[in-house]
Each structure stands twice: as C-alpha cells, then as structure tokens.
A and B are shown apart, each in its own frame.
Chain A
Amino acid sequence: MVAVPAAGLVIVTGAISLDHAREEAVRLGPVIGFLAAVLVLAQLCDDEGLFTACGAWMARAAAARPHRLLVYVFAIASVTTAVLSLDATIVLLTPVVFATAARIGARPGPHVYACTHLSNTASLLLPVSNLTNLLAFAASGLSFTRFAALMALPWLVAIGAEYLVFRRFFATDLDAGAQAPAVVESPEVPVFAPATVVCTLAGFVLTSAFGVNPAWAAAAGAAVLAARALAQRRTTPTRIVRAAALPFLAFVLALGIVVRAVVDNGLAAGLGHLVPGGTALPALLALAVLAAVLANLINNLPAVLVLLPLTAPAGPGPVLAVLLGVNIGPNLTYAGSLATLLWRRIVRAHEAEVNLGEFTRLGLLAVPVTLVAAVVALWVSLTVWGG
C-alpha cells in the first residue's frame, strides 16, 4: 500500500495541482462506487451458494469427460467474469473449479489455467467486468449498452481463440480421462441471487437508456441482496463492508492521482508520439499491442490510466483497442506484469517452484492469437455499429 502515501506526496510536493487531483478524484469517485457495489454483489452471490451450485452442476454434467468439463468451465468463467468482474472469477470461482476437477478425478491444470486466463480475456464485455473497463467507460463517453454492443463480438472471438489454444496446449491432460463421481450431491440451487444479478443487468441497460449512471443499478442490486442476507442473519455488516474492499478503493483513487501526476509531468508528451491516431485496423492493432506491452511492464491499471487521456479524444474505437490490450495482455506474464512479479516476489513468498515455463509458453501462444483476433473483431464491430 505505497500508493496512498505516494498520492499524498505528489499533492504536497506540487507534482500535481490541487485542482487536477480534485478533478481526478471526482472522475474516479463513481467508478469506485460502481466497483464496490459489484464486489459486494459477487461476495453475496457466493454466500448464497451460487458458485458451489455451479461446481456441482459442472461435475454432474461433465460426467467423466475432461473435454466437456473444459467447455463448462469456459462458459461459466466467461459469464462470471463478464457479469461479476474478474475478481469473482479468480477469488470465488477458481477454488470451486479446482474442487470440481478433483472430484471427477480430472487433472486440474487446464481448468485452473482456464479460470485465470478467462478472468482477463473474458473481461472485455461489460464496463463492470474489469476495473480497467470502468475507468475507460468513464472516459469514453459510451453508454453501457453501446459499450457492450461494441465489445460483444471481440469478447466472443477472444474466448473462442483461447478455447482453441487450450484444446491444443492441454490435449494430453484432457485426454487422460477421469472417473465419474460416485455420488454427486445436489446442493440447493440458489434462485434469489442469480435473479437479482439478472435484474441488476437489466438495470444497467435501463439506467443507461435514461442517462443515469449505471453504478446506481449495481448499488441497488447489492443493497437488495445485502438486505436479504442481513434479514436472514446469513451475513454481518462487517462482512459486507469487508467485501467492498475499502483499502483497495482507496488504492485505486491514489493510483489515479499518482498516474495523473506522472502524465502531467511529461509522460504524455513522451508517449504521445508513440500512440497512433485514427481508427483504421493497423492503428487499432498498434494501440492494442502497445497497451498489452505496457500492461506487461507496469501492470494493467497504471497502463490504462496512462493511455486513456492520450486516446480518449480520438473516440471510443481507440479506447476500446487499449482495453483489448490491457485486458488480454496480462495473460503473458505470471502475476499479470513483470512489475508485480518483482514487487511481490510471489514465487519466493510461497516457496513453491512455480512452473513459469509452462505459464509463459501458454501465454506466448494464447495472447498474440487472442489479441489479434479480438482487434479484428473490434474493427468489424466498429464498422457495423459505427465508431
């Protein structure tokens, strides 16, 4: 948590003017509220047993076929990421998927990798899917529905490309077979939580049609689920506040201010001539690749904060191309970026011999294929729907 004092420092030293800092805070405020609501929504869905029920369903439907399990994992991880954000897929769904693979005696590798890859690749569809999207959504001036309409094709194409790469890469593990589970218990399938999520999605469409910030729909959905869980004494206010991850929200705000200071102090001029203009296919490709490289060097949040002010004036096309890069790119490096890897020293912290070779080989295959396919799909989308 160095970002908060760093934000204080750049304000005190005058690296960023108080006006710019305030402007950044006002811009990020609704984004952060939106994110908090989605995080709470996902946690409450988990409390209602939504992901456990998904796991039991996958184990039963996949029977003893790892290939089929992979299809279900792709479907569920893609929808979870798109609707409840990538945090939900990584924190809440991945353990369920691992347990499901273990239960049918399938090798867990392909399915766990699918969760982590799709938490990035399948986070293209909706503004709520990824914090990077929320930031770009605020800057792009697109409505919720228009964002989703433009990103639907790239989302589907990117997931399809990942699937083909996975089928090839993990052919041996998927062919190894599995045993049908002796007894698969059927836990009660929650109805209220998914119904609330569907209503929240409808709320996103409605609010954006009436020009209201869709964050209110997310807040309403989270409030309904929270009220019910509290009334039934299945959660506590403390748990809900913890699910909203307040330190993280402060971190995002601070990060925004720090990056603004860096951009104000010359990075914009430096990167400015690297950023291609226009919405032709080569320009979109170049932007997406630049964004992916930057995401792998400094992590995707700072990357998107740096690139947004440079691309937003050119319209939604370039902004969405940046999103393709910063969302798909992190699959290339273990832990999303070299910077994270160096800061956290994760490998040493867990004293695990992580198979960086396998991770990187998969990333080197999947990322270029997925990224190029998604950019072409975005270009088609922009041509059909009009940038």
Chain B
Amino acid sequence: MSVIAWIVEGTWPACVDAARVWAPEGAEIALLHVTGPEAPGVAHGAYAGLLGRASPERDPGTRLEHLADASAEHLLDAAAERLDRPCTRMKRTGRVEREVVDAAVDADLLILARDGDHSHLGPHSLGPASRFVVDHAPCPVLLVWPEPAPSVSTIPPPPTHPPHHR
C-alpha cells in the first residue's frame, strides 16, 4: 500500500501524525512537498519593474528559487524526523494543487490537512489548493484538521424558513 502525506508549511505536523496513526504497518509512506512558483515569480516581477537595472545576477527571484529549494528540503527533513518510520521524500515544483493530484495518481491514500479557516466547521476550512485536491484526487483521501477541530456549535443554525418544496 502506498500512502502520500502532503507536507505544507504550517499545517504539516497534523498530516505526519495522521500518517503515523492510519498508515498500516509495512505501507510505503512518501512525504510530498510542492514549491509553488508564486514567491520567486513575485520577486522576479518586482525586479523587472525596476526599469534599467538589468543585471540578471542580482535578480532576487533567482535567490528565492534556491532558498525555496533549501526550505523544502528542510521541511521534509523535519517531517521525516517526526514520522519516525521509513519513508521516501518527493520534492516537486509547479502549480501546487495540480502537482499534488499528479503525484497521487498511483497512491492508495492521500493525506492532507485543511488549509483554510480553522475556527469554523464548514466549506471555508478548505483553501483553494486543498479544495482543488479534494475535488480532483484520483485516490482515497484522508482529510485532517491541522489542530483540534472546532466545535459542532460553529455550524450556523439551519434557516428558519424551510426551503420550498417543488
């Protein structure tokens, strides 16, 4: 059985803990991190906007790309240490949500954490990226809360007027 835990800044410990609990003994666990193009892209753009400063070796976007790679490495190390089980690491770059779906094609289970509003139960607890992955995942999905789930009382009361029957 192959299990993929999607490691995201901020919410990853919950995914690793879920993998420890739910991945059966002997399962192949892979830790997946995807670096999006946004941060280096924004820096590339800001530098290009400095009209006339053309020297490419000073482009901060390129430095960000190297830093992002090192940071992904570091995050996967920390995750592997917390997992404390044999695992493989997958480091990808690209559109985050699409890379995750693509990586999960042959997986038997994908573990991910909610990346939206942590304070209420409901659809906003999924941000755009995890929403896309949940909607498009080609395999079973285990969706966990990054911290203890909010109380059921955070669900708004049902509308007072029942919907009209057609």
Contacts and interface: CB of A to CB of B under 8 A. Distances in A.
B51 A66 contact: no
Interface string A231-254: 000000000000001011001100
Interface residues on chain B, size class: 35 or more
A116 B42 CA distance: 7
B64 A94 contact: yes
A336 B44 CA distance: 11
Interface string B82-110: 00000000000011000000000000000
Contacts of A301: 51-52
B68 A102 contact: yes
Contacts of A99: 67, 71
A358 B38 contact: yes
B53 A245 contact: yes
B14 to A, nearest CB: 10
Contacts of B52: 3, 247-248, 251-252, 255, 301
Nearest to B12: A105
A336 B43 CA distance: 12
Given A95-B60, A112-B64, A179-B13, A335 B39 contact: no
Given A252-B52, A336-B49, A172 B43 contact: no
A96 to B, nearest CB: 9
A50 B87 CA distance: 40
A175 B43 contact: no
B37 A346 contact: no
Contact of B46 (A3, A116, A245): A116
Q: Please report whether the interface of chain A is mostly helix, strand, loop or mixed according to DSSP.
A: helix
Contacts of B10: 66, 105-107, 176-179
B67 A116 contact: no
Contacts of B117: 171-172, 175
A252 B64 CA distance: 28
Contact of B146 (A115, A177, A245): A177
A340 B48 contact: yes
A113 interface: yes
Contacts of B67: 95, 98-99, 102
Nearest to B129: A172
Interface residues of A, number: 56
Interface of B: 8-13, 36-55, 58, 60-61, 63-64, 67-68, 70-71, 74-75, 78, 94-95, 115-118, 127, 146-147
Interface of A: 1, 3, 66, 86-87, 90-92, 94-95, 98-99, 102-103, 105-109, 112-113, 115-116, 119, 171-172, 175-179, 245, 247-248, 251-252, 255, 299-301, 330, 334-337, 340-341, 344, 346, 350, 352-355, 358-359
30 contacts: A1-B54, A86-B50, A90-B47, A90-B50, A91-B47, A91-B53, A94-B43, A94-B46, A95-B67, A105-B12, A107-B9, A107-B10, A119-B46, A172-B115, A176-B8, A176-B10, A176-B11, A176-B115, A177-B10, A177-B118, A178-B10, A251-B52, A255-B51, A299-B49, A336-B46, A336-B51, A340-B49, A341-B48, A352-B40, A355-B38
